[in-house]
Amino acid sequence: MIMRFSQIVYVALVYFVASIPFSFLVAKALTNTDIREFGDGNPGAYNAWRYASKPAGYIGFTLDFLKGSLPIVIVKKLWPQSELMLFFTAVSSVSGHAWSWYLHFHGGKCLAVSAGVLLTLLDKYMPLFWACVLGALRFLGVSPGGSVLITLCTANVHTYFAVTSWYLRLTVLCISLIVLYKHKDVLFPNRSEAYMDV
pLDDT band, residue 198 (cuts 50/70/90): very low
What pTM value is reported for the model?
A: 0.87
Q: What pLDDT, on a 0 to 100 scale, did the predictor assign at position 193?
A: 45
State the CB neighbour count (10 A cutoff) for residue 174.
15
The backbone torsions φ and ψ at residue 106, rounded to the nearest 5 degrees and listed phi first, read -105, 155
| Phi then psi dihedrals of residue 162, to 5 deg | -95, -20
Q: Which of 44-53, 72-81, 140-149 has the lowest mean pLDDT?
A: 140-149
Of 60, 65, 31, whose CA–CA distance to 43 is shortest?
Answer: 60
Region 15-23: mean pLDDT is 96
Contact 56, 23 (CB under 8 A): yes
Residue 133 reports pLDDT greater than 90: no
Band the pLDDT of 194: cuts 50, 70, 90: very low
How is 148-172 classified by DSSP, letter by letter?
HHHHHHHHHHHHHHH---HHHHHHH
pLDDT of residue 191: 54
**If pLDDT is split at 50, 70 and 90, which confidence band does 46 have?**
confident
Q: Residue 147 — pLDDT band, cuts 50, 70, 90?
A: confident
pLDDT band at 195 (very low <50, low <70, confident <90, very high): very low
DSSP per-residue letters across 4-59:
-HHHHHHHHHHHHHHTS-HHHHHHHHHH---GGGSTT---SHHHIIIII-HHHHHH
Q: Is the pLDDT of residue 145 over 80?
A: no
